[in-house]
Chain A
């Protein structure tokens, strides 16, 4: 029996006019398709690569390795406070400009200028070439023409995005209605951060699949809960409050689970003691007004969390007890990616609050370990191609939308290229 109403069409999937037939996962196991995604998706869409808090002052910078776009990026706050991004390559002979001991490792810090380790060329924070070693040895070298190669950079509510496509629509237009609805959300007050990273042996879309449905949660994660609670969760199964689609982006709106639980005996002793757990703090910190329009679209009393997927690879989860978390999935090949997760809380004022956050973060990691382990098993079996069609249910509508969208980007890009060369 359905607990929450579905659209008039009878299902979310039909409501969004998404094909309900069994789906192919060829898009997650084909090296050729991945190559096409790099061009059609990762070099064409807005990618979130961090937050403004990572660049606290003029001269603050960090680098980001973007294997999918075959580049490394420097993101830096200038003396004028502007945030800019550049390809991390020296204009002299192509050395990677900013790195420490290991060229492939991401770095962060603060500096007055960038100096190349190879022959000492120097660049300003705004990318201008300012110094050339033995400049007189060069042939008519005009330093003005050898600044760092810029990348389009725009900021929405403290989230820093880049886009390799100079013709792409502006960020806010791209992010659409979901971002608009969250425009005044107090992200800036939630600056205490825990970050996790994992190397995952699966296509990037497969991990998004796992986080855009909770159909798996009562089963895969059943050993996380105390016995009675676990049995109850399996019997009830999972239904979202509602699903949403806005262009390439999607939303899963979910009920609140256990923050706080109806029956305290259903949770672990440490959760009762610290009043915290997977769903965050039981007592929400005061953060001022929350933009009601952008969250809990069904206005349900039991609402607990909204998961937004901003296509292609940025997920934003906003929780009722005033905290949020982000997921990023950075492809490194057709069957591997780097997964990043960040939890953001209002900074604790005392040691007790710090421990509450610690419990939420530690709990999150245990779930992520289980989610991650399943993926490699899925990837290897999909690659066997022993079975090539898979039925997805209506609680998996958001992943159907993701794969449909990703395939459409690839097809459109190919059509454009064919047309250009015709």
Chain B
């Protein structure tokens, strides 16, 4: 099996379905997940991001490898689930009813 993530982050491969290249997909997966699932992802991925900060600062976006790109997308997903886990205890922002705000342009990695 080829590695999706850099070897040092192989432990996060069990969250491979969070490696998503667009905000739309990341946000949709968040809404489709239970709080338990979001919590489980957060609990493991957050300390790994904490540890990865010095490394990520050395990852240039100019010639990024496939593994590093996947790792960055995975952490983008982590960023996306932090509000539900850290503050609201629910997947959607409170008091937002049926309103939709779509991301139509985002920087590629």
Residues in chain A within 8 A of chain B (CB atoms):
192-199, 220, 223-226, 268-270, 273-274, 339, 341-342, 347-352, 354-355, 357-359, 361-363, 365-366, 368-370, 372-374, 376
Contact B105–A226 (Cβ < 8 Å) = no
Given contacts A351-B72, A354-B61, contact A198 B80 (CB under 8 A): no
A194 to B102: give the CA distance in the assembly, Å.
Answer: 11
**Residue of B at shortest CB range from A366?**
B93
- The contact of B99 among A197, A269, A358, A373, by CB within 8 Å, is A373
**B10 contacts chain A at the CB level, 8 A cutoff:** no
Which B residues lie within 8 Å of A347 (CB)?
107
Specify which of A196, A349, A351, A376 is in contact with B102 (CB 8 Å cutoff).
A196
Q: Are A373 and B96 in contact (CB under 8 A)?
A: yes
Shortest distance in angstroms between A330's beta carbon and chain B's nearest beta carbon? 14
A268 touches B102 (CB 8 A): no
Most buried by A among B60, B82, B109: B82
Which residue of the partner chain, among A225, A348, A358, A372, contacts B76 with CB atoms under 8 Å?
A358
> B64 within 8 Å of A by Cβ?
yes
Distance, CA A198 to CA B62, complexed state (A): 32
Residues facing A in B42-86 (CB within 8 A) are: 46, 49-50, 53, 56-62, 64, 68, 71-72, 75-76, 78-80, 82-83, 86
Residue from A268, A342, A350, A363 within 8 A of B60 (CB atoms): A350
Name B86's contact: one of A268, A274, A348 (CB within 8 Å).
Answer: A268
Q: Complex formed: what's the CA distance from A357 to B106 in Å?
A: 11
B97 near A269: Cβ-Cβ < 8 Å = no
B23 at the interface (CB under 8 A from A): yes
Given contacts A194-B106, A351-B109, 5 further A-B contacts (CB under 8 A): A274-B79, A350-B59, A355-B49, A358-B79, A361-B103
A224-B61 contact, Cβ under 8 Å, with A196-B101, A197-B102, A198-B102 = no
B8 at the interface (CB under 8 A from A): no
- The reply to whether A194 and B107 form a contact with Cβ atoms under 8 Å apart is yes
Q: Which residue of A lies closest to B78 (CB)?
A: A270
A368–B27 alpha-carbon span in the complex (Å): 15
Residue of A196, A274, A357, A362 most packed against chain B (CB within 10 A) = A362
- B15 within 8 Å of A by Cβ? no
Please name all residues of chain B whose beta carbon is closer than 8 Å to the beta carbon of A354 when the two chains form the complex: 61, 72, 107, 109
Cross-chain contact A350 with B95 (CB below 8 angstroms):
no
Choose among A197, A341, A352 the residue that contacts B57 (Cβ–Cβ < 8 A): A352
B72 and A355 contact, CB distance less than 8 A: yes
B100 within 8 A of A: yes
Would you call A373 and B95 a contact (CB within 8 A)?
yes
Q: A194-B106, A368-B101 are in contact. Are A349 and B61 (CB under 8 A)?
A: yes
Is A268 within 8 A of B104, CB to CB?
no
10 tightest Cβ-Cβ pairs between the two chains A and B: A195-B105, A369-B96, A351-B59, A352-B56, A270-B82, A373-B99, A372-B99, A351-B56, A198-B101, A366-B93
CB contact between B94 and one of A192, A223, A349 (< 8 Å): that residue: A223
Q: In the bound complex, how far is the Cα of B95 from the Cα of A352, in angstroms?
A: 31
- A369–B79 alpha-carbon span in the complex (Å): 17
Name the residue of chain A whose CB is nearest to the CB of B103: A196
Residues of B within 8 A of A (CB): 23, 46, 49-50, 53, 56-62, 64, 68, 71-72, 75-76, 78-80, 82-83, 86-88, 93-107, 109
Cβ contact of B100, chosen from A198, A270, A358, cutoff 8 A = A198
Q: Given A350-B59, A351-B61, A351-B64, check contact A192 B107 (CB 8 Å).
A: yes
Assess whether B86 is in contact with A269, with CB atoms less than 8 Å apart.
Answer: yes
B90 CB, min distance to chain A CBs, angstroms: 10
Q: Given A350-B59, A362-B23, are A220 and B95 neighbors across the interface (CB < 8 Å)?
A: yes
Sample of 15 A–B contacts (CB below 8 Å):
A194-B107, A197-B102, A348-B107, A351-B56, A351-B64, A351-B72, A352-B59, A354-B107, A357-B107, A362-B79, A362-B83, A366-B83, A370-B94, A373-B95, A373-B98
Note all chain A residues with C-beta closer than 8 A to B97. Answer: 373
Residues in B with CB closer than 8 Å to A199 are 100
Q: In the complex, which residues of chain A have a beta carbon less than 8 angstroms from the beta carbon of B107? A: 192-194, 347-348, 354, 357
Chain A residues near B102 (CB, 8 Å)?
196-198
Let me know if A352 and B82 touch, CB within 8 A.
Answer: no
Which A residues touch B87, using CB under 8 A? 223-226, 268
CA of A339 to CA of B71, assembled, Å = 32
Q: Are A372 and B50 in contact, with the CB atoms below 8 A?
A: no
| Contacting pair B46 A269 (CB below 8 A) | yes
Inter-chain contact B94/A270, CB cutoff 8 Å: no
Residue of B nearest to A369 (CB): B96
Q: Is A348 a contact of B23 with CB atoms below 8 Å? A: no
